[in-house]
Chain A
Amino acid sequence: MPDPSPRRVRVTSPRTGAARVQRVPVAREIEAQTALGEVYMSSLLRSQLRLALLALATLAVVVGGIPLLFWLAPELSSVEVLAVPLPWLLLAFAVYPFLLAIGWLYVRAAERNERAFTDVLDRS
């Protein structure tokens, strides 16, 4: 018994071959060290370096500022908070949670940068 449905016909254009673009994955661009691959690499490097410098700048201003603060205002040394001298409170206790917080935020942001980079490469 013959098939009642019409046969599927393939519609083609004569220009197909000419117009098709060869898509190259970004990973191969990076491997071949082309100009485009270089753009992706330097953007990853720049974003990671900017993040690192931001973390270091925070450290330098907040923790590195403590000696300068007490040098400019020596009378602060005798200020007491809850019976603990202020310099002792800052350097023996408060500084450690602060360092941990910067580290935690940095790791989160650095992993986000890397995920964004991996996603771009996977999408291509």
Chain B
Amino acid sequence: MSTAGYSVVAVTAVVVATLAVGAYGWRFSRTTSDFFVASRTVRPALNASAIGGEYLSAASFLGVAGLVLAFGTEMLWYPVGWTAGYLVLLVLVAAPLRRSGAYTLPDFAESRLESRGVRRLSALLVVAIGWLYLMPQFQGAGIALAATTGTGPWLGGVLVATVVLVNVLFGGMRSITFVQAFQYWLKLTALLFPLLFMVTIWLGDGGVSPASTGTTPGDSWESPLAGTGDHQLYTTYSIIIATFFGTMGLPHVVVRFYTNPDGAAARRTTLFVLALLGLFYLLPPVYGGLGRLYAPDLIASGNTESVVLELPSRMLAGTLGELLSALTTAGAFAAFLSTSSGLTVAVAGVISQDGLGRRLGGVRAFQAGAVVAVLVPLGLALLAEGVGVARAVGLAFAFAASTFCPLLVLGIWWRRLTDAGAIAGMLVGGGCAGAAVIATLLGVTPTGWPGALLAQPAAWTVPLAFLAMVGVSLTTPRRVPRHTARTMIRLHTPEAVQLDRGVLPR
């Protein structure tokens, strides 16, 4: 059988396994609560595997190795930032967010600030971030399937969208939790197992350092600073700010917190996730480093994102190499499926509550929301040209850090936040970051400082959003929500204490 043949079998196996594990969850999915939050009964270990499975997207599985292969050590800031983002989430947001008792970011915004306006703006932003993040997943699936089996680039996206939709329509959050926990371990195995063989070969060849083979003179492959020339320090810190503070604002990350039984469990789950992410991110950079030694032609041809898929069959001759390449292809599909499922559940939750809930209600509205949540970004992915999976995901992080990060941090820790301040901050941060995102998607790339500021906007848009939110809140002190003190009690007191926590949303 050829490499393409093995890959078709591997992708089919992942799709069938995903549907089968999902079907196991369907049996338990009865109530609206099952669909939205798995009835808030998921234990930390299972929940952490599910969060890890959901979070490790195509950008982590394919993108990181490709970026390290092409640009070197500086690109390690992406996996480091995506992990450190969970640490920031843990210390600032995890337990209070669970205790808030809300389900989506708009729920949190409304219950904290007691304003329908903030809710509507948050709902819009959740859908925007979700679609910005879903689009590259579908594109990546198309690229991966085309690279390994030679089908048309549209097939992979349609395949992933269909499987996600089937699982979400029938099982909601309950079934997705099982699917994603399974997919974390599948992704880890799919990277680790081929790597054991490849590292053995590398050591047998003398263990040459990838840094020693400079493809171009004056190449700075081992330097940890991103970008070129005068903007190195700015670009590096901008990536750090976007990833460290963007994680908490991603809709599919936040929705997961409501599946924990209480605030303390939310903290422990997050700590567990931190360990699982650290374990996983040890692997993709090694693919990038080995790719520099064994597949340097990918840099010239610009196909660096397929290094994870192609490296095993290049380093190991015969059937074994082909089988291992098929395994990494299967892992890549697990990555597309799990992240898309999580985002679909999150976006569908918001669309059904804020768009369709009044007309349909309950499970039916959730299912209608899921259809809309998948079809729009699938259409965008099929129409628009790709900007690189890791690149588009990086922009989604910058956008989330400039909008929801200030809302969550100030909402949880600062009593004087007002609805007017929150709206101003999200408009300023979202407007500036959104303009930079659109400029990049349209291919506008000025040189010098304006170019650096547009390519990595987080370092200036995040502080600007915080400033606007604090400034406007301080000038509108009479709009501080009436029940702020009661809300703060709910957010911060441990559940063991018997207290009147005010009216929980729903």
A residues neighboring B (CB under 8 Å): 27, 30-31, 33, 38, 41, 44-45, 48-49, 51-52, 55-56, 59, 63-64, 66-68, 70-71, 74, 77-78, 80, 83-85, 87-88, 90-93, 95-97, 99-100, 102-104, 106-107, 110-111, 114-115, 117-118, 121
Residue among A44, A67, A95, A111 making CB contact with B493, cutoff 8 Å: A44
Q: Provide the residues of chain B in CB contact with A100, threshold 8 Å.
A: 271, 274-275, 278
- Chain A residues near B209: list those with CB within 8 A: 80, 83-85
Minimal beta-carbon separation of B233 from chain A (angstroms) = 5
Do the beta carbons of B240 and A114 come within 8 Å of each other?
no
Q: Which B residues between 485 and 506 are near A, CB-CB below 8 angstroms?
A: 485-486, 488-489, 492-494, 496-500
Question: Which 7 pairs between the two chains have the least Cβ-Cβ distance?
Answer: A96-B278, A91-B76, A87-B224, A52-B91, A114-B494, A85-B222, A67-B236
Besides A85-B209, A103-B270, 19 more A-B contacts (Cβ < 8 Å) are A30-B493, A30-B499, A31-B489, A41-B492, A59-B88, A83-B207, A87-B223, A87-B224, A92-B282, A92-B286, A97-B278, A99-B274, A103-B86, A111-B264, A114-B494, A114-B496, A118-B494, A118-B496, A121-B497
Nearest-neighbour CB distance to chain B for A40, whole angstroms, equals: 9
Q: Which residues of B contact A (CB under 8 A)?
A: 73, 76-77, 80, 83-84, 86-88, 90-92, 95, 207, 209, 211, 220, 222-225, 232-233, 236-237, 240, 244, 264, 267-268, 270-271, 274-275, 277-279, 281-282, 285-286, 289, 413, 485-486, 488-489, 492-494, 496-500
Q: B240 to A77, Cβ gap below 8 A?
A: no
A98 to B88, CA, bound (A): 14
CB distance from A20 to the nearest CB of B (A): 25
B213 shortest CB reach to chain A, Å: 13
| Smallest CB separation, A119 vs chain B (Å) | 10
Partner of B497, one of A83, A96, A107, A117: A117
Contact B499 A106 (CB under 8 A): no
Q: Within 8 Å CB of B271, what residues of A? A: 100, 103-104, 107
- Interchain CB contact (< 8 A) of B232 among A71, A84, A91: A71
- Closest-by-CB residue of B relative to A90 is B224
Contact B268 A33 (CB under 8 A): no
- B90 near A95 (CB under 8 angstroms)? no
Question: Among the listed B91, B237, B285, B489, which residue makes an inter-chain contact with A41, where contact means beta carbons less than 8 Å apart?
Answer: B489
Decide yes or no: A55 and B87 within 8 Å by CB, A66-B224, A104-B271 being known contacts.
Answer: yes
Of chain B, the residue at the smallest CB distance from A121 is B497
Residues from chain A with a CB closer than 8 A to the CB of B270 are 103
Q: How far is the CA of A73 from the CA of B155 in the complex (A)?
A: 49
In the complex the two chains form, is A67's CB within 8 Å of B281's CB? no
* Chain B residue nearest in CB terms to A45: B492
Interface centre among A59, A70, A106 (most CB of B within 10 A): A70
Residues of B within 8 A of A38 (CB): 485
B222 and A87 contacting across the interface, CB-CB below 8 Å: yes
B223/A77 in contact, CB under 8 A: yes
B225: A residues at CB distance < 8 A = 67, 70-71
Instruction: Flag if B278 contacts A99 (CB, 8 Å).
Output: yes
Task: Contact check, A88 vs B76: say whether CB atoms are below 8 A apart.
Answer: yes
Can you give 29 A-B contacts (C-beta < 8 A)?
Answer: A31-B489, A31-B499, A41-B488, A41-B489, A44-B492, A44-B493, A55-B87, A56-B88, A59-B84, A63-B84, A67-B240, A77-B73, A77-B224, A78-B222, A88-B76, A91-B73, A93-B282, A95-B80, A97-B278, A99-B83, A99-B87, A99-B274, A102-B87, A103-B86, A103-B91, A103-B271, A107-B268, A107-B271, A117-B497
